Amino acid sequence: MNEYIIETNGLSKIYKGRAAVNQLDLKIGHGDIYGFLGPNGAGKTTTIRMLLGLIRPTRGTIRIFGQDIRRHKLDILRKVGSLVEYPSYYGHLNAIENLEAIRRILNVPKENIADVLEVVRLTKHAKRPVKGYSLGMKQRLGIAAALLGNPEVLILDEPTNGLDPEGIQEMRELIQTMPKKRGITVLVSSHLLSEVEQMANTVGIIREGELVFQNTIHNLRQESAGGIRIVVSEPEAAQLIAREQGYHSVKDGTALDFENMNDAAVALLVRRLVENTHAVYRVEERRKSLEDMFMQVVGKGGGSL
Tell me the percentage of the chain whose pLDDT exceeds 90.
72
pLDDT at residue 300, as a whole number? 55
- What's 12's domain CATH number? 3.40.50.300
pLDDT tier for residue 299 given thresholds of 50, 70 and 90: low
> Is residue 295 one of the residues assigned to a domain?
no
Over the chain, what is the mean pLDDT? 90
Task: List pLDDT tens digits, range 208-254.
Answer: 999 999 999 888 776 666 689 999 999 999 999 999 989 899 999 99
156 in the same domain as 243: no
Number of domains present in the structure of the chain:
2
Q: How far apart are alpha carbons 265 and 269 in whole angstroms?
A: 6
Domain boundary among 193, 215, 237: 215
22 in the same domain as 100: yes
Task: List pLDDT tens digits, range 243-287.
Answer: 998 989 999 999 999 987 878 889 999 999 999 989 999 999 876
What's the sign of the alpha-carbon dihedral 121, 123, 128, 129?
A: positive
Q: What angle do CA 160, 82, 203 make, to 5 degrees?
A: 60
61 in the same domain as 203: yes
163 in the same domain as 250: no
pLDDT tier for residue 302 given thresholds of 50, 70 and 90: very low
102 in the same domain as 141: yes
251 in the same domain as 120: no
Beta-bridged to residue 59, according to DSSP, are: 12
152 in the same domain as 30: yes
> Is residue 167 one of the residues assigned to a domain?
yes
pLDDT tier for residue 303 given thresholds of 50, 70 and 90: very low
- Strand 4-15 and strand 59-64: the pairing is antiparallel
pLDDT at residue 39, as a whole number? 87
157 in the same domain as 275: no
pLDDT at residue 24, as a whole number? 97
If you average pLDDT over residues 139-146, what whole number do you get?
94
Q: How far apart are alpha carbons 113 and 100 in whole angstroms?
A: 7
- What's 234's domain CATH number? 3.30.70
240 in the same domain as 172: no
Query: What is the span of the domain harbouring residue 72?
Result: 4-215
CB count in 10 Å sphere of residue 186: 25
Does residue 122 surpass a pLDDT of 90? yes
Does residue 298 surpass a pLDDT of 80? no
Give, for 68, the enclosing helix (H) or strand (E): strand 67-68
Max intra-chain CA distance, the chain = 79
> Is residue 124 one of the residues assigned to a domain?
yes
> Is residue 296 one of the residues assigned to a domain?
no
Residue 224 and residue 216 in contact, taking contact as beta carbons nearer than 8 Å: no
> Is residue 55 one of the residues assigned to a domain?
yes
183 in the same domain as 140: yes
> Is residue 220 one of the residues assigned to a domain?
no
Does residue 304 surpass a pLDDT of 50? no
Task: List pLDDT tens digits, range 152-199.
Answer: 999 999 998 888 888 889 899 999 999 999 999 999 999 888 888 889
127 in the same domain as 175: yes
Domain boundary among 183, 215, 247: 215
Domain boundary among 174, 190, 215: 215
Predicted model pTM:
0.79
> Is residue 205 one of the residues assigned to a domain?
yes
Tell me the percentage of the chain whose pLDDT exceeds 70.
92
265 in the same domain as 167: no
Task: List pLDDT tens digits, range 20-43.
Answer: 999 999 999 999 999 999 988 999
CA nearest neighbour of 250 among 278, 215, 226: 226
Burial 95-129 (b: 16+ CB within 10 A, else e): bbbbbeebbeeeeeeeebbeebbebbebeebbeee
